[in-house]
Chains A and B, each alone.
Chain A
Amino acid sequence: MPATPQTALVQDSVPKVDDTLAVGEDLGFQRSWWRFERFIWSLFLVILICDVLGLFGRGWLAKARRATPDNALTLDYEHIERASTPSVMTLTFGPAAIQNPGPNGKIQVFVSNSIVKPLGAQRISPQPSVSAVGGSGITYTFAATHAPAVVQIALEPSFPGIHPFRIQLPKEPPIDAKVFVVP
């Protein structure tokens, strides 16, 4: 036996214009939508301006600088970063950071684990002569002659969030900072 189709009576439910033209126009809703569109276009513009300024990373507002009191270490980094996007953290060492200045001079710096994992350290330049793990981080030792000495850490954060980190020189107060990684 063939299946019987379900049926319903046709009703004249579509609103008409001037009682003649079944269009279903809703001008009240449409005017609200046009207001919403004006707002959203303004919002898009604001978002783009914020982006250019660096509020979402990779711009002027994203850059940050921290230093120890005696400028033994100056840290340039981006406190707003984008996930899966490369950036560079620059460590500039002053005279107070170099132990035994001269041919046998060296710099030791402690970097917390959060630089390696959530902030995704890809490489460190120049390569440290010694890397020692422990104390929730890595202590790098670099051969250094005279100040200023510069080390760069290439970062590529893997996931969004607020990631605190610490960088410290021996016998110096630590630099504690946070990086906000946007998706």
Chain B
Amino acid sequence: MSIETVLLLIPLLPLVGSAVAGLLRHQVGRAGAHWITILAVAGSTALSAYVAWQVFFNGLPTMDYTVYTWAVTDGITFEVGFLVDSLTALMMTVVTFVSLMVHIYTIGYMHDDPGYQRFFSYINLFTFAMLMLVMANNFLQLFFGWEAVGLVSYLLIGFWFKKETAVKANLKAFLVNRVGDFGFLLGIGAILVYMGSLNYAEVFAAVPAVEGTTINLFGDAQWSLMTVICICLFIGAMGKSAQVPLHVWLPDSMEGPTPISALIHAATMVTAGIFMVARLSPIFETSDVALSFILVIGAVTALFMGLVGIVQNDIKRVVAYSTLSQLGYMTVALGASAYSVAIFHLMTHAFFKALLFLGAGSVIIALHHKQDMREMGGLAKYMPITAATAWVGSLALIGFPFFSGFFSKDLIIEAVHYADRPGAGFAYFAVMAGVVITALYTFRMLYLTFHGPTRMDEETRSHAHESPWVVTIPLILLAIPSLAIGYFTVEPLLFGGALSDAIFVREANDVVANNLAAKFDHGAMAFALHGFMTPVFWLAMLGVGISTYIYLFNPGLAGSLKEKLHLAWTVLDRKYGFDELWQKILAGAGLSIASGLSKGGDRTVIDGWLVNGSARMVGRMSGALRQLQSGFLFHYAFVMVVALVALVASFVLLR
């Protein structure tokens, strides 16, 4: 099998699986659907691993080729094609592996659901779309994958379409993402107009020629073209990767079944924005303004979304806000020009966050779809595997030394520390404060769920037990990389040049090579050991300590703190009012404009006055004219005489 065939099969297997499981759902049955889709994804995973092995160990050179020509018009060739380099290979492996875990897990989680085949069809379709996104060698296909993952996300958030909250959430997710895509599309338009191509390689080659170009958008003010392009593209990333203020859809997306929260809304799709910026690093490197913007947006998201996580009671929502915060960390890394570190965190986060979500799902199964942590507690003794893996995921999330998240998060903080562009100071503060907050909400969740006194009712408690093996095996398989992948990959990926063929950083901006590499002079082991003595570690321990004191030793304190800090608590509980901003103000204004234009514009002015008005006027005029046609001869004679006199008179007078 040639490598091209392998690459083509990787996305096509899940596409075929999706079609079979979805369209022939009655013919293949429940077991048939999960076997077909799981085998398809397993095939993709194996082939992706093979490709990654070829790329990282056998020195397969970067492949950039056309699969088919989509359209040719006006001298522009639109193509569908693959670009396979280290970044693609890494993403393919992560996506297919997490997807495979989620597929297996779904057998247990969706066991009793009537939409079983449909669910498998959707997650297979998602895998196809995500692979098309990461394998793209051009902006057209990127945008296709971008929107296609959005479509599947929409379908899966609204999977339980009878639930009003679910179908509200999926509409919201799609529309908020469309706001981001609006910017994204304009960015793509600018690239085509000024660089004459949509192919990555051609665009990158054209960047130096247009770098100094300025354009004027408002009046005479000149804007740097590259800054405009970068910010437009990044607005797309803000939608997909849920950065403030386009983050509002992600917490609501938790209405979907938990497996997709893990796959789509934590590990893969939401990281598409991060991937996109890293993939387009030759473009983003040209605009310091845009990078500062990215840095600040990421920092705001990392800090403020983490804070909201502290006051959530729904176990999935805690993890969701944690995801927002971690996406903020990745964005901060991008803004600091540490693209490879962002991708590294993307990878470790994919494993440990998928693990945490699936763990939460395991708890939810055990409690018969209860998600409120106030009705949990002490579950560790009923479900030891879930609890143990949740501990692994949590320690990775807070960045405990040696766990995978330690390497990636510590390096993000270090990168920001050395970055010297406007906003870096604030970002550094935000990511440091974020460490305390992350530890606080993570351990709060761990304790409320697995430890302390149980608050379940008797009925629930008597049924609580460990989940079946289809659930626990994926947990264990995800716990392994959550624990170890950072240690083994940090040096080759970041300092060994494994990603250097895909990521471009200007020398002056390159904090990874200039500043971080020195910290690894003595290897990853020394770095991790040193990790126990850094302020970052002690900040995390501070968060853990606070959580431990409040939730294990002094349970009443949480309530009284809530009373005392009522204002702060309300602000967090209301999520800073972003939902109101979007729903009441923006969506409300849109609907008012809509009904105003419909009633005032179309019905009153155009139809009422102009169309029916002219019809009425014709009617009235003809009604008036009809009066003249009285049928009495003396009327006509009279008019004739008067007219004759008038005619003669005018002739005489005007002369």
Q: Indicate, yes or no, whether A interacts with B.
A: no
Q: Which residues on A are within 8 Å of B, measured CB to CB? A: none
